Structure 1
Amino acid sequence: MHKICLFLAAASTASAPLSAQDHSQHGDHSAHQAEETKPAPPAIDHSVMDHSKMDHSQMDHSTLEHSAPKAAASPARPPNSTSGPARAADAIWGAEAMRPSRKALYEEHGDMQIFWFQGDRLEYRAREGGDGYLWDVQGYYGGDLDKFWFKSEGEGSFGESAEQAEIQALYSRAIAPFFDLQVGIRQDFTGPDRTYGVVGVQGLVPYMLEVDAAAFLSDKGDLTGRIEAEYDQRITDRLILQPRAEMNFSAQDIAELDIGSGIDSAELGLRLRYEIEREFAPYIGVEQEWKLGGSKDFARADGEDASVTNYVIGVRFWF
């Protein structure tokens, strides 16, 4: 009986602090109870919604992320190759075994030797005091970088010996896209015998202007120069108008050749040609020639006109 009384006393002491706790600080538990008992909202079926009547203009799209998914990086491809690693055959056959094959490929497909020949001007010239003729041909044999280049030009009057005739043999080296440096020799076949060393450039400058410029040093020590320029203006696919200009210079008087110092002579012409084929085109035109400076005095002393107009008909071809 005594033990039962002690047990009841201990139980009442333990329960007293629990009943004395203030639950008012824990907030209103009725709200939590309401949420727990609130039923879940019904599922919305978007398939039956009419989105055409929704006003999207009031929505703030600035906070939405519309960035497209990043594309996967393309795999790196070796240079100068459409597939596979560069020089893959070396891994199988070895670099030494493949070297002769690569050399043969370059020689057969990348270093072909080409022969080209052009008759730039082959023409009959009608002029006061006696009709004449003119030829201007050139060509080369070689590859992309190195070529053997040859040129020949001359003119005269019918029934007389040629007034001027020359031939050039040149080594040509590409120094820029569409431009070559040329060195070699020139031999004249009229007048006093002269052999010249030649240094020049030839090529295509911007705006499709063809230029040929050279300096000549003779075995007599005479220094002369020449620059030619021409431009092909297409009127139709086959009809081409070609303006052409030429100037000759001399560093000194050369009495034997009737050449004065400074600007020796100038030519300005206009030719209209029709390409029957790309490789064959007849033309007509007009060209004016002038002797200038000391050369004009030499011409007058010889009873020649210092200014001549030529009406020309000729043909241009190449192969």
Structure 2
Amino acid sequence: MMPIMTFIGNLGYVFVSITGGIFVLNGTLLIGGVQAFIQYTQQFSQPLVQAAGIANTIQSAIASAERVFSLLDEDEETEETPASIDTGALKGDVSFKRVAFGYDKNVPVIRDLSLHAKEGQTIAIVGPTGAGKTTIINLLMRFYELNKGSIKVGGTDISELSREQARSMFAMVLQDTWLFNGTIRENIAYGRDGATDEDIIRAAKAAYADDFIRTLPDGYDTVLGEDAQNISQGQRQLLTIARAILADPKILILDEATSSVDTRTEMNIQKAMNKLMANRTSFVIAHRLSTIKDADLILVMKNGDIIEKGSHEELLRENGFYADLYNSQFSREEAVS
């Protein structure tokens, strides 16, 4: 509404100027009269523009209120009693059996997914946007419940565990880092309750973060601002990796974490990730295919289904969808360089 009212006000200004100019040339109106009419036009249109601005604000408030009330109207998560299962004793193998899921039950995202990841394997998941890569991770973490099928960790169906128990077996390192307003020590220690200073420093060293932390004026007691804007993107990523190392998870979930950092920092992050992934089951959502060449198994997804799977060399030899993705990405990288 506000742009429309501003446009109408400007049209009025142009109309008065042109008509007044004609009247001045004809001698029927003095130039002072035209100037007065222009002032009257602005005085008339200014309150209308302000009212339109208030209408815009009201519309934004209504839209925000709808989102707030839709959140308040959501059903509460059911109270869960932890299962009498020692999750620490479970093995790290993961199996999906005939899994089907859709955020809208009438629009399936994953139709019939079955896979088995052995303990210690690195599983890379690749595919175009909307293929269902992130959905697999959401289901593993029990952010959503399955429509059909089962997901088992160490032979135990995760639906038998409480959400807290299921999520305690995972650690995530995402492309978008999440650090809260607090000291670096507190941000790393968030990975595990009761972590000692020695544990925190050991995790930071393993993540190649200790060196840059000690160069800061307050070291581990440096307070991170909102969204940790007082350190670089690469440094933020190293802190999240240190937190994951401290958590010592049974299963690791990695989103592409090196896409927005420089080459040197990327090398350090890759080294830290290799240490973190050693001897534990890892799921890697890959955007740059050059980073997952060494994965034990690569799953190629399209429209919610696994259309190809195998090692990097095997998939290239098949000369299918993965090979097309890899070759097109390699060509683009060569063109940019």
Pick the TM interval, shorter chain: under 0.3
Bigger RCO (CA 8 Å, 6+ sep): 2
Structure whose residues are more often helix by fraction: 2
Q: TM-score, normalised by structure 1?
A: 0.24
| Structure 2 length-normalised TM | 0.23
Higher strand share: 1
